[in-house]
Amino acid sequence: MCGIAGIINSGPADDAVLDKLEAALAHRGPDGIGRYQNGACQMVHTRLAIIDLEGGDQPFVHTHDDGGEVALIANGEIYNNPELRAHMGDTPFKTRSDCEPPLFLYLKHGTQFAEHLRGMYAIAIWDANAERLVLARDPFGIKPLYWAQSEKGFAFASEPAALVRSHLMDARLNTDVRDTLLQLQFNVGEETMFEGIHRVAPGETLVVENGRISERHLIEALAPGGPVRTSRGRAVDELDRVLADSVGVHQRSDVPYGMFLSGGIDSSALLAMMNRLNETPVVAFTAGFPGTHVADERALARELARDQGADHIEVEFGADDLWALLPRITKHMDDPAADYAVLPTWKLAEAAHAQGIKVVLTGEGGDELFGGYGRYRAQRRWLFKKNMYRKGMLEGRGVLRAPDAARKWRRGMAGAVADAARPGRTSLQAAQALDISTWLPNDLLGKLDRMLMAHGVEGRVPFLDPKVASMAYALPDALKVHKGLGKWVLRKWLDGVLPGAQPFSRKRGFTVPVGEWIAGRGGDLGARVAAQPGIAEICDADDVKSLFNDPGAKAGKAQWTLLFYAVWHQVHFCDADAEGGVFDILH
């Protein structure tokens, strides 16, 4: 895993710009720096060494007979690297790096090269002869990539903050995106919180010529069409095959790896498969919230780890951690998602780094692909279409000064909803597709990437492998939701390999007790949050204070959203010191 950035312009090379981009992305790649300059192109790569530790430095450069060059930098892992090399015969590879084959795939297939990749990636290629830049991102959007166009040139980076800190773009707040964040807790579409900085869409390949986007290609994450008939027994057997294959390739690494274990279905399935495939004990990390009323998953996780012979490391997160760490967390969540799961994920990544673990496997994608959410069960019963986006987080709370702002986010979701409901898909599949195109890349995966990369740890998601996704999404609805339980096939498989996980029991969903922690400081926090510039321009102070004095659970989620945004705005637009605590920043 790494950081990549660059700029295409007609002016002279500027080492100062690369210095700033490098500094802004240093946390993503603490193991090495690579630079490339050729004609209008300047690129920088910060490396987290995972494969070919000694020889895998980037950029990778191929020189044509006429002297023209093609250069590639990448952030990601290409899991079919060995297979690609075997099929590419006598290609003159210079390294063992998994990110070198895409360069030669581009030379052979042009801008369609990404169709041959199995993995997670954000790739930039400069073709000097054609004078074109090619940017590509994996179909699920596991790895981030952003672009911006200004009078200074066409720029790209792994994180939007790098474009701001290098002064390639000014920090101007996109108020429409802000309004969406406050309602959905994440943003949909191409735009970001920084005006003029855009996301490369999941699965998209952009071709840039003469400083403009000239072509766009898209690789779909999900196969077209509806469910494919199969028996329960055959589905369980096929799941065993594809999961073993996916976990196996996701463990390809030249450095130590581990996993995050919650005790839920998805992470328990990963633990069981990793234990099957590894000769040495799996290293598993679990978070808990002592002294609160939320379900503590550590006891079950501890039992499962003991059953599987795993080395189990427990990490506690409390109110003091929230007040101390939130500014640093928001600094790294430059493309923000106000998802309270960022909190334990930060400490889990910190613990993994402290143990010398550089790669972590996690269960993201399991709910979306196998049908795990409660709203999917409603789709299956055909009684009504339960939409998690039917009401915004702050709608009806009486804190926003402009009521219309509470409804803007619906426009952003409309296109995604229409696209998800494609011909042949069931209502359940449409609900899954909507989450996979919106919430998954822009909340869950963004959170995972930023929190882990802040500590120099790579996150891998075996459920979001194309082979697993193809099998799971095509399952009949009745094999996803059965007898009121989602993820039925995954539960059935887990019951056979790790029954101690209690896969058919009804568990409470994962939550973080932010409401409890905020309630303990509600009066003080309300006044502080209300006074912040980012909040004051959209909310009346008395309404914010009243909200923070409400002890209700629903109010707690709204309080958290405003607190997160207040701190985020202070860090990214008011130059607050992220090393200080919440009460240092919200003074």
Query: Following DSSP, what letter does each residue of 167-196 receive, concatenated?
Result: TSS---B-HHHHHHHHHHSS--SSB-SBTT
401 occurs within a structural domain: no
Q: What pLDDT score was predicted for residue 383?
A: 36
Task: Indicate whether 177 and 246 sit together in one domain.
Answer: no
Of 79, 46, 12, 9, the residue nearest 159 (C-alpha): 46
223 occurs within a structural domain: no
225 occurs within a structural domain: no
Q: What is the CATH number of the domain that holds 49?
A: 3.60.20.10
Burial of 333 (C-beta count, 10 Å sphere; 0-12/13-18/19+): buried
Task: Indicate whether 144 and 248 sit together in one domain.
Answer: no
3-state SS, residue 163: helix
Task: Indicate whether 558 and 447 sit together in one domain.
Answer: no
Tokens at 74, concatenated: 């990448």
Per-residue pLDDT of the chain (587 residues; tens, 9 = 90+): 699 999 999 777 788 999 999 999 999 999 999 999 998 999 999 999 999 898 899 999 999 988 889 999 999 999 999 999 999 988 999 999 999 999 999 999 999 999 999 999 999 999 999 999 999 999 999 999 999 999 999 999 999 999 999 999 999 999 999 999 999 999 999 999 999 999 999 999 999 999 899 999 999 999 988 999 999 999 999 999 999 999 999 999 999 999 999 989 999 999 999 999 999 999 999 999 998 888 888 999 999 999 999 999 999 999 999 999 999 999 999 999 999 999 999 999 999 999 999 999 999 999 999 999 988 887 655 433 555 577 788 888 889 988 666 567 787 788 888 899 999 999 999 999 999 999 999 999 999 999 999 999 999 999 999 999 999 999 999 999 998 899 999 999 999 999 999 999 876 667 899 999 999 887 899 999 999 999 999 999 999 999 999 887 778 999 999 999 999 999 999 999 999 999 999 98
Q: DSSP letter at 489?
A: H
509 occurs within a structural domain: no
* Domain end among 218, 251, 269: 218
Burial of 562 (C-beta count, 10 Å sphere; 0-12/13-18/19+): buried
Burial 500-517 (b: 16+ CB within 10 A, else e): ebbbeeeeeeebbbbbbb
The DSSP bridge pattern shows strands 2-8 and 41-47 to be: antiparallel
398 occurs within a structural domain: no
* Domain end among 218, 244, 264: 218
Q: Is residue 102 reached through a cis peptide bond, with omega within 30 degrees of 0 on the bond before it?
A: no
Task: Indicate whether 525 and 380 sit together in one domain.
Answer: no
508 occurs within a structural domain: no
| Residue 261: C-alpha distances to residues 65, 312, 361 (Å) | 52, 9, 9
Predicted structure pTM score: 0.96
* Domain end among 468, 501, 534: 501
Task: Indicate whether 460 and 544 sit together in one domain.
Answer: no
Domains in the chain: how many in total?
A: 3
Task: Indicate whether 331 and 417 sit together in one domain.
Answer: yes
Q: What pLDDT score was predicted for residue 117?
A: 98
Which residue type sits at 225?
Answer: G
Expressed as residue numbers, the domain containing 55 is 2-218
Q: Identify the residue whose tokens are 């193809």.
A: 470
E strand or H helix that includes residue 346? helix 342-354
Task: Indicate whether 237 and 347 sit together in one domain.
Answer: yes
397 occurs within a structural domain: no
Task: Indicate whether 188 and 334 sit together in one domain.
Answer: no
Task: Indicate whether 471 and 535 sit together in one domain.
Answer: no
Task: Indicate whether 250 and 121 sit together in one domain.
Answer: no
Task: Indicate whether 200 and 258 sit together in one domain.
Answer: no
Task: Indicate whether 305 and 434 sit together in one domain.
Answer: yes
Q: Which residues contact 241 (CB under 8 A, 6 or more apart)?
A: none
